[in-house]
């Protein structure tokens, strides 16, 4: 037992040494305004596709303007994530795509983004969680962890993926920006039956969709009267009336706290 503890201490000590030996633990451009500007440009080319041009979150990447990050908040943490990527997420490693100094300049830029979301969120997340599953019935379409349905976007990490403003807009005006791959598809069959659902596939000759009861359909365009894809959401637009202002804050507090871990 004692030996095991000793061995563990040795390991910790050695690990610590290895950490100290790493040559790039401090940003060589720390405090350099030019590096921030250069990083901003680099960001537009390399990162904006997923994180948005203003780093507020985009197609798949998290909002980077909140001042807190899943993998640590220092510039060295940012540099490490940019370099190595984040296993288990869509974040790729940039070691082979960007030079060392470019990655540091990116870290400088991301660190410079003033956190606009770090005012305390006024709502009560526990109340928000109850509203999500019960009054809102959000789980009929959305999944968090292992609970809920997969018709709409998976919200397990949504607090890390989207800004508070974006989340509020998504609840109040679901049609404002429909998540890619979640358009509404309406099919009218030759005998006049109308089927509406969430897009699961859409090409020049066929469409696949899932209706609100989670039933899956596939249609060849030649065999139906019409197939239409629209950028509107099947999410109800009445949440702004269903929830009081306080309840909306509670719901937002709950969603903003979702980072993929246990709650």
Partner 1 sequence: MGLVFAQVNSSDWRTYGHNSLGWRYSELAQIDTRNVSRLSTAWIYQTGLPGGFETTPLVFDGLMFIAGPSNNSWALDALTGRPIWHSHTTPPNKLNLCCGQVNRGFATRGDKLFRVNIEGTLVALDAKSGTTLWQTPIADYKQGYSATAAPLVVKNLVVTGIAGAEFGTRGFIDAYDADTGKRIWRFNTVPGEGERGSDTWSGDSWKRGGASTWITGTYDPELNLIFWGTGNPGPDMDGDVRRGDNLYSCSVVALDADTGELKWYYQFTPHDVHDWDAISDPVLADLTIENRKVKALMQANRNGFFYTLDRTNGKVLKAKAYTEVSWTEGIGADGRPILTKGQEPTEEGKLACPGLGGGHNWQATAYSPRTGLYYFPTSENCQLFYKTKQEFTEGEWYQASNVEGPPNSHGTGAILAVDPTTAATKWRFDMVSTPTAGILATAGGLVFTGDRQGYLIAFDDRTGKVLWKFQTGGAIVSPPISYALEGKQYIEVAAGGSILTFTLK
Binding residues vs partner 1 (CB under 8 A): 38, 40-41, 44-45, 48, 52-53, 96, 175-178, 180, 202-205, 229, 231
Q: How far is the CB of 96 from partner 1 (least distance, A)?
A: 8
Q: How far is the CB of 202 from partner 1 (least distance, A)?
A: 6
Nearer to partner 1, 42 or 111 (CB): 42
Nearer to partner 1, 215 or 229 (CB): 229
Q: How far is the CB of 48 from partner 1 (least distance, A)?
A: 6
Q: How far is the CB of 242 from partner 1 (least distance, A)?
A: 24
- Taking residue 112's Cβ as centre, other Cβ atoms within 10 Å add up to 14
**CB–CB of 129/139 below 8 Å?**
no
Nearer to partner 1, 105 or 253 (CB): 105
Nearer to partner 1, 84 or 175 (CB): 175
Q: Cα separation of 237 and 105, whole Å?
A: 42
């Amino acid at each position: 037992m004692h030996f095991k503890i000793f061995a563990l201490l040795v390991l910790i000590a050695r690990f610590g040494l290895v950490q100290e030996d790493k040559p790039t633990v401090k940003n060589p451009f720390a405090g350099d305004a030019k590096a921030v500007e250069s990083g901003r440009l680099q960001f537009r080319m390399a990162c904006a596709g997923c994180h948005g041009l203003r780093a507020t979150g985009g197609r798949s990447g998290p909002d980077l303007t909140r001042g807190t990050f899943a993998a640590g908040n220092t510039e060295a943490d940012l540099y490490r994530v940019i370099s190595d990527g984040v296993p288990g997420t869509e974040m790729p490693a940039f070691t082979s795509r960007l030079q060392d100094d470019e990655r540091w300049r990116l870290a400088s830029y991301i660190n410079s983004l003033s956190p606009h979301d770090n005012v305390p969120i006024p709502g009560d997340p526990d109340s928000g969680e109850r509203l999500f599953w019960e009054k809102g019935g959000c789980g009929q379409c959305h999944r968090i962890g292992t609970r809920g349905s997969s018709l709409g976007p998976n919200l397990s990490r949504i607090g890390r993926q989207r800004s508070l403003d974006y989340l509020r807009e998504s609840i109040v005006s679901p049609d404002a920006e429909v998540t890619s791959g979640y358009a509404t598809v309406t099919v009218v069959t030759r005998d006049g039956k109308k089927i509406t659902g969430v897009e699961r596939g859409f090409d020049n000759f066929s469409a696949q969709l899932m209706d609100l009861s989670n039933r899956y359909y596939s249609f060849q365009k030649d065999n139906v009267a019409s197939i239409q894809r629209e950028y509107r959401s099947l999410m109800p637009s009445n949440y702004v009336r269903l929830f009081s202002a306080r309840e909306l804050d509670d719901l937002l507090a709950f969603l903003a706290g979702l980072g993929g871990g246990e709650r």
